[in-house]
Amino acid sequence: MKFLGWMYELPISYWIRESTWGHPIMLCFHAIGMAVVVGIVVMLAIRVATGWPKGLTAGSFEPLLRLAQIGFVMNFLSGLILFMANAPSLTLNWTFQIKIVLIILGAVLVWWQSRVLIGTPEKPGSEAVISVPTRIIAALTIVCWIAAVVAGRYIAYTLQKVFL
Amino acid sequence: MREFFFWMRESHFGEYMRDQQWAFSICESIHFIGVCLLFGALLVIDIRMLGYARKISIPWALKLIPIAIFGFAINLITGICFIFVDPFQYFTNPVFLIKMGLIVLAGINAIYHEVACKERICALPEGADTDTRTKWIAGISLLLWTLIILCGRLLPQFSIEG
């Protein structure tokens, strides 16, 4: 609790809480980052889970996953700043807790998928062949990330402010 | 127009959206999922059209267009649900009007891509770079949709009523 209090007292946390633009600007970064990460991850997972659309080689995953990583870093940073501004309340908030668990789980599932796919030997122009367990992982990935988005939205409805 | 807005606000559905917080919040969640589907599909397509990530085959990327349209459709529907809550609050908000204008521009850009570029870029050999016009269209598309998300996120800050 002491550490949470320290974060809460930082000047940047104060700026997020008290200024007119601090909070909305950070939410803007967080929204764009969300669209990049969840967008890319879901596109790849749809292809892996369903096999549609045909015509994707395993090598295509790499540049897209790098892009998703950039979005993830952006959201980790903007999320961290938003968290610090309300650290005690968010730590106690159940939707926030669920969101964080879903993101960790979602990230592990993406990493798992990528390890299988990028390791797949590839003939130029050949279709990525995907096993059933990997397809199931991809379907779970979609569920996880969509649920994380929904949990994130509900923080606004369930957050009870804890004042220090 | 004013009468129509009054009708929307006073309708059963408008009342329902105002009174039932869960209905509004579910629409918000679906709106966010729509953003991810629309932007995700466009990102894959536009990155390739910009000439990056050339391992992606262009015909494959373009097959994601239905996902983008699906994302847009659910956002159009949930967006209309929001407007029922209070049309005046939206149509007096400058950022909302800018957002709508940007969506129209993004639509024109997408249609232009469909008629002027699609066939040509599909005929490109695997891994080939794209032409300047295609790159412009892809860049404008990403810029517009990024701005549209930002406008959406900033709507409450510019709301005149409430």
C-alpha span between A72 and A76 (Å, rounded):
6
Quick: pLDDT tens for B54-88.
988 899 899 999 999 999 999 999 999 999 999 99
Tell me the three state secondary structure of residue B126.
coil
> In the prediction, which pLDDT does B7 show?
95
Task: Give me the residues of chain A with pLDDT under 70, please.
Answer: 58, 119-128, 163-164
Residue B48 CA, chain-centre distance (Å), reads 19
The total of other beta-carbon atoms located within 10 Å of residue A133's CB is 10
**B104 backbone φψ class: left, alpha, beta (φ>0; ψ -120 to 50):** alpha
Are A39 and B126 within 8 A, CB to CB?
no
Domain boundaries, chain A: 2-158
Tell me the nearest-neighbour CA distance from A3 into chain B, angstroms: 30
Domain boundaries, chain B: 2-153
Are B60 and A56 within 8 A, CB to CB?
yes
> In the prediction, which pLDDT does A73 show?
98
C-alpha span between B32 and A144 (Å, rounded):
15
> In the prediction, which pLDDT does A14 show?
94
The ipTM assigned to this model is 0.94
Nearest CB to A32: which of B38, B146, B156?
A: B146
Tell me the nearest-neighbour CA distance from B33 into chain A, angstroms: 7
The count of CB pairs under 8 A between chains A and B is 109
Quick: pLDDT tens for A123-164.
655 666 788 998 999 999 999 999 999 999 999 999 987 765
Tell me the nearest-neighbour CA distance from A24 into chain B, angstroms: 7
* Chain A touched by B96 (CB under 8 Å): no
- Residue A69: which residues within 8 A CB-CB, separation 6 or more? none
With CA atoms as reference, the chain B residue closest to A21 would be: B157
Helices B12-19 and B21-49 cross at an angle (nearest 10°) of 90
